[in-house]
Structure 1
Amino acid sequence: MHTNDYREITAAVITVSDTRTEETDKGGQAVMDHLKDSKIETAVYQIVKDDFEEIQSAVTAALKQVDVVITTGGTGVAKRDVTIEAVRPLMDKEMEGFGEIFRYLSYTEDVGTRAILSRAFCGTKDQTVVFSIPGSVGAVNLAMKKLITQEVFHIVHELNK
């Protein structure tokens, strides 16, 4: 099936950062640009602090509004990076292959062995798919171009069978 064979879907983009503003959120803007290029409407966009409860609250609210939630930032190994820890318990299922392939692509195309520091997550809750990706523009472009926009329509279709 091609993208045109699927129904239209909507997305939420949540940037996790203590420092970014709408003007400086290049990663979040890159996500929205890729979504627009794929004919996916961004229905929700917000920036939340690197805070477990704030992240969970934003994702929980978005789950009720859209077909796909994409978080950027807060996926590193620093103590304040808690996006994945906040998102994972909200999910019904995890798609481990997303993080595995993201790291593989990062390793081969971009960062070499530093890819072991790269954390990326994909899970589903009811009929919504959630992706948590690093906030750097390079990581966003890689995840969006090579993985998310390639499979998101199919994933949402499968979740709504």
Structure 2
Amino acid sequence: MKSKTMELHKKKAPIKVSCGVITLSDRFSNDKEGEEKDLSGKYLKEELAKKYDLNSYTIIPDEIDTLKNTIEEMIDSGVEVIITTGGTGLESRDITIETIEPLFEKEIKGFGEIFRAISYEELGAGSLLSRATAGIYRKAMIFALPGSPDAVKTGLGIIIDELGHLKKHARK
């Protein structure tokens, strides 16, 4: 059920959104053909570019300082929405969540909740492995997605039509 008020509110949202994609992958970051093999990053780039401005894309290793620096550089260059893929699991090298959550000035709790609810319907209890999250840092939105292409499709499907609306509120 759609809210008429929300639909009217969304019509006043900005259309132009500057996006950046960060793939965290030790394997792909050290591979000359990493960009070709990065199916999740490729999907994000292609889908975001259909509706918004894709201003930045990079593949980095699972390293805390590298992730923090990359986020800072993207925001400094005007990126308003950063979507990361990879590094959200439970393994020791999965550092995305531990790195970005302390940066959040505000958490967008509903994103992770909706993501896991949809994942549970598709995967069952395997969805417990997902720690997808989102928040606002320096007026930019950061969405952290798992590395699998199916998870990226699920996560982007939740937010792609709302990015302008979310930007409007995050920038106030």
TM-score by length of 1: 0.92
The unaligned stretches of length 5 or more in structure 1 are none
Which residue does 1:160 correspond to in 2? 171
Which residue does 1:95 correspond to in 2? 108
Which residue does 1:25 correspond to in 2? 38
Give matches, 1:33-112, under 5 Å.
33-37=46-50, 39-64=51-76, 65-108=78-121, 110-112=122-124
CA contact (8 A) 2:13 2:164 kept: no
Aligned CA RMSD, in angstroms, stands at 1.5
Q: CA separation in 2, counterparts of 1:126 and 1:132?
A: 16
SS at match of 1:19: helix
Determine which of 24, 40, 46 is the counterpart of 1:16.
24
* Larger CA Rg, structure 1 vs 2: 2
SS at match of 2:27: coil
For the pair 1:148 / 2:154, whether they are aligned, the reply is no
The unaligned stretches of length 5 or more in structure 2 are 1-7, 29-33
The number of residues matched between the two structures is 158
Q: CA separation in 1, counterparts of 2:13 and 2:73?
A: 28
Q: CA separation in 1, counterparts of 2:13 and 2:135?
A: 23
Deviation at 1:100, TM superposition (A): 1.0
Residues 2-53 of structure 1 show CA distances to partners (whole Å, capped at 9, x for unaligned) of 568523011010000011211110000111122123x111101001101111
Identical counterparts, % of pairs: 36
TM-score by length of 2: 0.86
Q: CA separation in 2, counterparts of 1:9 and 1:96?
A: 21
